[in-house]
Structure 1
Amino acid sequence: FKLYPWEWMAVEEFGQAILPHMTETVWLEPVWKMMWSNKAVLAILWDMFPGHENLLPATLDPRMVSGDFVSKPILSREGANVQVVADGQVIASSGGAYSTDRLVYQQRYPLKDFGRGYPVLGSWIVGGKAAGLGIREDGLITANGARFVPHVIRG
């Protein structure tokens, strides 16, 4: 039994050693789930659906960045190694152990501070219907110490 994030295995020697044993090992979290936690998907979605109302412009090419933006490693979690840039100045940044060799750059959308931090909403859709909502509140960068308020949608 080992609790270990897939994105860590992807960049460590240990990860290469487990590849030949994928089918004979019981995995509690399937490896395909790493695809959705890889932030490069933000740039891919923007390339596929430019201008979509539910997406912010995102790119893997720093030469394509203009205006206010957020940069973050494509493989990271809990707000690590994030930079928030507004008017050409870094207004918030976080440390962390993740590699900053591959970053995604996403247009910054100014969040509203309601007095307890900036809320970030996460929603779950099951079978095309709303199933849950989680609200995390923190500073400009949502980190692992964010306040979490779960919600259940019934009916």
Structure 2
Amino acid sequence: DTPTSVFETAYFQFNWLTDQMALGVLPNDADQYNSLQESLVEAFEQFSKEPIFHFAVMTDNEEDRGTTVYLMDCAVQAGHRVELLDIREIGIDAQGRYTDLQDRVIDRCFKLYPWEFMLREPFARELARSGDVFIEPAWKAVLSNKGLLPLLWQRHPNHPNLLPSYFADDPAASSLSDYVRKPLLSREGENVTIFRDGQEFVSAPGDYGEEGFMVQAYAPLFESDGGFAVLGSWVVGDRACGLAVREDRSRITANLSRFVPHVIIG
């Protein structure tokens, strides 16, 4: 819903790879699990080229704007006409359709703006009849809500790809001694707290938590001299196509955690 490391994954770490090969630091057959940009262009090709493809973001946020402009470039490579728009500049016409600053109807819009924020905006009343205007679609709000994790654990208890997870007020949560408490809507590690033996071990500040919390069994991150690393996998459409590595001295990955390029050497 807010893919703010897609630029680093698809573009910058690939440039790092080619630079290192050109310098002789890496062998010429070095590789990377990274077809993200090609996959994005192919995905944009699936949309009609007829309407202008709008891209909306809080333009005064440099990181979000840079990410959105990169995605616009992918859309241009796919043959689209594009227009950048500040999310606050979206209007509504007499028919309840979303419009841009030139009063053009917005038929297709990628927005780098969380759905839970969108639903609180004055124009949210028109979302129910907006159809498939927005990318990502509204159902992505389910995936960005950590309340999904306890529900998955209820449905698939002891599944090898899941960690025990409960809503914070569930009596079953007391069965965990080493766990992580997370706000349902937190991003970038904000307001996350790690507990060891039932005692607070490390926490991160932030502005989330009013929406409630869930708890999840603690799973230690990979640790090396560089700190603690977490892997992020990218899926475009229905295809896995990229790997991102974030690293930090803290056990909680946050907004300013380093992005570390990776390499595959046979």
For the aligned pair, the TM-score class normalised by the smaller chain equals 0.7 to 0.9
Is the contact made by 1:82 and 1:93 (CA closer than 8 Å) also made in structure 2? yes
SS at structure 1 position matched to 2:224 = coil
Question: Which residue matches 2:147?
Answer: 40
* Cα displacement (A) at 1:91: 1.0
Q: How does 1:29-108 map to 2 (within 5 A)?
A: 29-62=136-169, 63-65=171-173, 66-108=176-218
Quick one: distance in 2 between partners of 1:151 and 1:33?
Answer: 28
Shift of the 152–28 alpha-carbon distance from structure 1 to 2, 3 Å rule, reads: farther
User: Which stretch of structure 1 is more off in the superposition, 37-46 or 55-64?
Assistant: 55-64
| Amino acid aligned to 1:5 | P
| Amino acid aligned to 1:98 | Y
Quick one: distance in 2 between partners of 1:33 and 1:76?
Answer: 15
| Amino acid aligned to 2:190 | A
TM-score, L = length of structure 2: 0.50
| Amino acid aligned to 2:160 | E
Question: Which residue matches 2:253?
Answer: 142
* Cα displacement (A) at 1:32: 1.8
Is the contact made by 1:72 and 1:100 (CA closer than 8 Å) also made in structure 2? no
1:20 counterpart (105, 125, 140): 125
For the aligned residue pairs, the C-alpha RMSD in angstroms reads 2.5
Q: Which has the higher contact order (CA 8 A, sep 6+)?
A: 2
Alignment coverage as a number of residue pairs:
149
More helix by share: 2
1:5 aligns with 2:110: no
Question: Which residue matches 1:122?
Answer: 232
SS at structure 1 position matched to 2:154 = helix
Shift of the 113–152 alpha-carbon distance from structure 1 to 2, 3 Å rule, reads: closer
Shift of the 4–32 alpha-carbon distance from structure 1 to 2, 3 Å rule, reads: same
Quick one: distance in 2 between partners of 1:129 and 1:91?
Answer: 37
* Cα displacement (A) at 1:64: 1.8
Quick one: distance in 2 between partners of 1:74 and 1:123?
Answer: 21
| Amino acid aligned to 1:73 | P
Unmatched runs of 5 consecutive residues or more in structure 1: none
Is the contact made by 2:244 and 2:260 (CA closer than 8 Å) also made in structure 1? yes
Unmatched runs of 5 consecutive residues or more in structure 2: 1-84, 88-111
User: Which stretch of structure 1 is more off in the superposition, 144-153 or 102-111?
Assistant: 144-153
| Amino acid aligned to 1:115 | D
